[in-house]
A and B are shown apart, each in its own frame.
Chain A
Amino acid sequence: MSEQGGRLIFFWGRECPHCAKLHPVVDEVSEELVKAGGQGITQLEVWHSDENAKLMRSYGDVLKRACGGSLGVPSLYNERTKKALCGMRTTKQQILDLAKE
Protein backbone atom coordinates (compact mmCIF):
# COMPACT_ATOMS: atom_id res chain seq x y z
CA MET A 1 0.00 0.00 0.00
CA SER A 2 1.37 3.36 -1.00
CA GLU A 3 1.74 5.98 1.67
CA GLN A 4 -0.27 9.14 1.45
CA GLY A 5 1.97 12.01 0.44
CA GLY A 6 4.26 9.89 -1.73
CA ARG A 7 1.83 8.29 -4.13
CA LEU A 8 1.48 8.39 -7.86
CA ILE A 9 -2.28 8.89 -8.28
CA PHE A 10 -4.47 8.21 -11.29
CA PHE A 11 -7.60 10.35 -11.07
CA TRP A 12 -10.41 9.05 -13.27
CA GLY A 13 -14.16 9.33 -13.81
CA ARG A 14 -16.49 6.36 -14.19
CA GLU A 15 -18.29 7.85 -17.21
CA CYS A 16 -15.22 9.36 -18.84
CA PRO A 17 -14.45 7.36 -22.03
CA HIS A 18 -10.86 8.60 -22.26
CA CYS A 19 -10.28 7.38 -18.71
CA ALA A 20 -11.53 3.93 -19.71
CA LYS A 21 -9.08 3.89 -22.62
CA LEU A 22 -6.17 4.93 -20.43
CA HIS A 23 -7.01 2.51 -17.64
CA PRO A 24 -5.21 -0.56 -19.10
CA VAL A 25 -2.11 1.55 -19.74
CA VAL A 26 -2.13 2.75 -16.13
CA ASP A 27 -2.61 -0.86 -14.93
CA GLU A 28 0.32 -1.97 -17.05
CA VAL A 29 2.64 0.77 -15.78
CA SER A 30 1.53 0.12 -12.22
CA GLU A 31 2.40 -3.59 -12.55
CA GLU A 32 5.79 -2.74 -14.01
CA LEU A 33 6.54 -0.35 -11.17
CA VAL A 34 5.60 -2.95 -8.56
CA LYS A 35 7.66 -5.65 -10.31
CA ALA A 36 10.63 -3.29 -10.24
CA GLY A 37 10.22 -3.04 -6.47
CA GLY A 38 8.52 0.34 -6.41
CA GLN A 39 5.05 1.59 -5.54
CA GLY A 40 2.11 0.98 -7.80
CA ILE A 41 -0.32 3.63 -9.00
CA THR A 42 -3.20 4.57 -6.71
CA GLN A 43 -6.42 4.79 -8.72
CA LEU A 44 -9.08 7.21 -7.46
CA GLU A 45 -12.50 7.75 -9.04
CA VAL A 46 -13.55 11.37 -8.58
CA TRP A 47 -17.21 11.76 -9.66
CA HIS A 48 -18.64 9.24 -7.23
CA SER A 49 -16.40 9.90 -4.24
CA ASP A 50 -16.40 13.30 -2.53
CA GLU A 51 -13.26 12.33 -0.69
CA ASN A 52 -11.35 11.60 -3.90
CA ALA A 53 -12.68 14.75 -5.57
CA LYS A 54 -11.56 16.77 -2.56
CA LEU A 55 -8.07 15.31 -2.77
CA MET A 56 -7.92 16.07 -6.49
CA ARG A 57 -8.99 19.66 -5.86
CA SER A 58 -6.24 20.01 -3.26
CA TYR A 59 -3.75 19.42 -6.10
CA GLY A 60 -5.78 21.74 -8.32
CA ASP A 61 -3.15 24.33 -9.18
CA VAL A 62 -0.76 21.82 -10.71
CA LEU A 63 -3.49 19.71 -12.30
CA LYS A 64 -5.25 22.70 -13.87
CA ARG A 65 -2.03 23.74 -15.57
CA ALA A 66 -1.49 20.20 -16.85
CA CYS A 67 -5.09 20.04 -18.10
CA GLY A 68 -4.94 23.37 -19.94
CA GLY A 69 -7.04 25.50 -17.60
CA SER A 70 -9.69 23.48 -15.76
CA LEU A 71 -9.49 20.32 -13.70
CA GLY A 72 -9.91 17.25 -15.86
CA VAL A 73 -9.65 13.51 -16.06
CA PRO A 74 -7.86 11.29 -16.89
CA SER A 75 -4.99 12.80 -14.96
CA LEU A 76 -2.03 11.62 -12.93
CA TYR A 77 -0.36 13.36 -10.03
CA ASN A 78 2.92 12.52 -8.35
CA GLU A 79 2.66 13.56 -4.70
CA ARG A 80 6.43 13.37 -4.24
CA THR A 81 7.50 15.58 -7.17
CA LYS A 82 4.22 17.57 -7.35
CA LYS A 83 4.13 17.07 -11.10
CA ALA A 84 1.13 16.05 -13.19
CA LEU A 85 -0.05 14.69 -16.50
CA CYS A 86 -3.51 15.23 -17.91
CA GLY A 87 -5.63 14.26 -20.87
CA MET A 88 -6.38 11.55 -23.37
CA ARG A 89 -3.04 11.73 -25.11
CA THR A 90 -1.04 10.66 -22.06
CA THR A 91 1.36 7.87 -23.06
CA LYS A 92 2.84 4.92 -21.20
CA GLN A 93 6.29 6.46 -21.42
CA GLN A 94 5.07 9.75 -19.95
CA ILE A 95 3.54 7.90 -17.00
CA LEU A 96 6.77 5.94 -16.45
CA ASP A 97 8.76 9.17 -16.57
CA LEU A 98 6.37 10.83 -14.12
CA ALA A 99 6.79 7.88 -11.75
CA LYS A 100 10.55 7.64 -11.96
CA GLU A 101 11.58 11.27 -11.95
Chain B
Amino acid sequence: MAVKKLWRCNVCNDIHYGIKGPEVCPTCGAKNAFMLIDYPEAKKVIIDRGDRLDQVDQLLEVWERFAEGKPFRLNPDAEFVKTLARGELENQRNHGLKYCPCRITTGNLEEDLDLICPCNFFIQPVYRETGECWCGLFVGRK
Protein backbone atom coordinates (compact mmCIF):
# COMPACT_ATOMS: atom_id res chain seq x y z
CA MET B 1 0.00 0.00 0.00
CA ALA B 2 1.24 3.47 -0.88
CA VAL B 3 2.59 5.43 2.06
CA LYS B 4 0.64 8.46 3.20
CA LYS B 5 2.53 11.73 3.45
CA LEU B 6 1.86 15.27 4.55
CA TRP B 7 0.87 18.05 2.17
CA ARG B 8 0.32 21.78 2.71
CA CYS B 9 -1.75 24.22 0.67
CA ASN B 10 0.58 27.13 -0.08
CA VAL B 11 -2.38 29.54 -0.13
CA CYS B 12 -4.12 28.89 3.19
CA ASN B 13 -1.87 26.33 4.98
CA ASP B 14 -4.53 23.62 4.93
CA ILE B 15 -2.84 20.34 5.88
CA HIS B 16 -3.65 17.04 4.21
CA TYR B 17 -2.44 13.57 5.18
CA GLY B 18 -2.66 11.19 2.25
CA ILE B 19 -1.00 9.61 -0.75
CA LYS B 20 -1.22 12.92 -2.62
CA GLY B 21 -2.55 16.39 -1.98
CA PRO B 22 -6.09 17.28 -3.12
CA GLU B 23 -6.31 18.95 -6.54
CA VAL B 24 -8.65 21.57 -5.11
CA CYS B 25 -8.06 22.82 -1.59
CA PRO B 26 -11.20 22.00 0.44
CA THR B 27 -10.64 25.05 2.63
CA CYS B 28 -9.79 27.89 0.23
CA GLY B 29 -10.53 26.39 -3.19
CA ALA B 30 -7.05 26.96 -4.61
CA LYS B 31 -6.13 24.54 -7.39
CA ASN B 32 -2.99 22.38 -7.43
CA ALA B 33 -1.75 24.19 -4.35
CA PHE B 34 -0.59 21.27 -2.21
CA MET B 35 3.08 20.51 -1.87
CA LEU B 36 4.94 17.87 0.10
CA ILE B 37 6.06 18.87 3.59
CA ASP B 38 7.45 17.00 6.59
CA TYR B 39 6.06 16.10 10.00
CA PRO B 40 7.78 18.86 12.02
CA GLU B 41 6.40 21.51 9.65
CA ALA B 42 2.88 20.08 9.77
CA LYS B 43 2.98 19.95 13.55
CA LYS B 44 3.99 23.62 13.74
CA VAL B 45 1.43 24.78 11.19
CA ILE B 46 -1.47 23.22 13.08
CA ILE B 47 -1.98 25.72 15.86
CA ASP B 48 -3.32 24.17 19.06
CA ARG B 49 -6.20 26.41 20.05
CA GLY B 50 -7.16 24.10 22.85
CA ASP B 51 -10.18 22.59 21.11
CA ARG B 52 -10.85 19.10 22.40
CA LEU B 53 -13.55 16.51 21.85
CA ASP B 54 -13.42 15.19 25.36
CA GLN B 55 -16.99 15.51 26.58
CA VAL B 56 -19.76 12.97 26.10
CA ASP B 57 -22.15 15.57 24.63
CA GLN B 58 -19.56 16.65 22.07
CA LEU B 59 -19.09 13.09 20.90
CA LEU B 60 -22.85 12.55 20.59
CA GLU B 61 -23.10 15.65 18.40
CA VAL B 62 -20.21 14.58 16.18
CA TRP B 63 -21.68 11.10 15.78
CA GLU B 64 -25.13 12.50 14.92
CA ARG B 65 -23.54 14.67 12.25
CA PHE B 66 -21.53 11.75 10.91
CA ALA B 67 -24.69 9.66 10.47
CA GLU B 68 -26.66 12.40 8.69
CA GLY B 69 -27.82 11.28 5.25
CA LYS B 70 -26.26 7.84 5.67
CA PRO B 71 -27.94 4.42 5.57
CA PHE B 72 -27.30 4.12 9.31
CA ARG B 73 -28.16 6.25 12.33
CA LEU B 74 -26.97 6.60 15.87
CA ASN B 75 -28.38 3.85 18.10
CA PRO B 76 -31.64 5.26 19.59
CA ASP B 77 -30.82 3.75 23.01
CA ALA B 78 -29.39 6.88 24.66
CA GLU B 79 -27.87 5.09 27.66
CA PHE B 80 -26.18 2.54 25.40
CA VAL B 81 -24.62 5.33 23.33
CA LYS B 82 -23.48 7.27 26.40
CA THR B 83 -21.77 4.18 27.79
CA LEU B 84 -19.80 3.91 24.55
CA ALA B 85 -18.93 7.61 24.63
CA ARG B 86 -17.66 7.32 28.20
CA GLY B 87 -15.64 4.26 27.20
CA GLU B 88 -14.03 6.03 24.28
CA LEU B 89 -13.07 8.97 26.45
CA GLU B 90 -11.61 6.56 29.02
CA ASN B 91 -9.64 4.90 26.25
CA GLN B 92 -8.41 8.25 25.04
CA ARG B 93 -7.19 9.11 28.53
CA ASN B 94 -5.63 5.72 29.20
CA HIS B 95 -4.54 4.57 25.75
CA GLY B 96 -4.18 7.77 23.71
CA LEU B 97 -6.97 7.43 21.16
CA LYS B 98 -10.76 7.02 21.06
CA TYR B 99 -10.64 3.29 20.56
CA CYS B 100 -13.87 1.32 20.37
CA PRO B 101 -14.64 -0.03 23.86
CA CYS B 102 -15.82 -3.28 22.25
CA ARG B 103 -12.44 -3.95 20.70
CA ILE B 104 -9.00 -4.27 22.25
CA THR B 105 -5.75 -2.88 20.95
CA THR B 106 -3.03 -5.20 19.66
CA GLY B 107 -0.11 -2.96 20.63
CA ASN B 108 0.72 -2.44 16.94
CA LEU B 109 -0.24 1.19 16.24
CA GLU B 110 -0.80 0.73 12.51
CA GLU B 111 -3.19 -2.12 13.20
CA ASP B 112 -4.82 -0.29 16.11
CA LEU B 113 -5.61 2.76 13.97
CA ASP B 114 -8.41 0.61 12.51
CA LEU B 115 -10.04 0.53 15.96
CA ILE B 116 -10.59 4.27 16.35
CA CYS B 117 -14.29 5.08 16.45
CA PRO B 118 -16.00 5.44 14.05
CA CYS B 119 -14.15 2.58 12.40
CA ASN B 120 -14.65 1.42 8.82
CA PHE B 121 -17.51 -0.81 9.89
CA PHE B 122 -18.95 -1.31 6.41
CA ILE B 123 -16.44 -4.07 5.79
CA GLN B 124 -17.28 -5.95 8.97
CA PRO B 125 -19.21 -9.22 8.57
CA VAL B 126 -21.46 -8.18 11.47
CA TYR B 127 -22.51 -4.99 9.66
CA ARG B 128 -23.36 -6.91 6.50
CA GLU B 129 -25.37 -9.44 8.50
CA THR B 130 -27.16 -7.22 11.03
CA GLY B 131 -26.84 -3.65 9.74
CA GLU B 132 -25.06 -2.67 12.98
CA CYS B 133 -21.45 -1.79 13.56
CA TRP B 134 -19.48 -4.05 15.90
CA CYS B 135 -20.29 -2.18 19.09
CA GLY B 136 -23.84 -1.19 18.07
CA LEU B 137 -23.15 2.56 18.06
CA PHE B 138 -24.51 2.85 14.53
CA VAL B 139 -27.54 0.87 13.42
CA GLY B 140 -29.32 0.61 10.07
CA ARG B 141 -32.20 2.99 9.34
CA LYS B 142 -35.48 1.11 9.13
Contact = CB atoms under 8 A, between A and B. Distances in A.
Interface of A: 11, 13-20, 46-48, 53, 56-57, 60, 68-74, 87-89
B106 A60 contact: yes
Among B88, B125, B134, B136, the most chain A Cβ lie within 10 Å of the Cβ of B134
Contact of B90 (A11, A46, A47): A47
Size range of the chain B interface in the assembly:
20 to 34
B86 A15 contact: yes
Given A14-B87, A17-B80, A17-B83, A72 B136 contact: no
Query: Interface on chain A toward B: helix, strand, loop, or mixed SS?
Result: loop
Contacts of B115: 70
B50 interface: no
Nearest to B130: A89
A71 B111 CA distance: 11
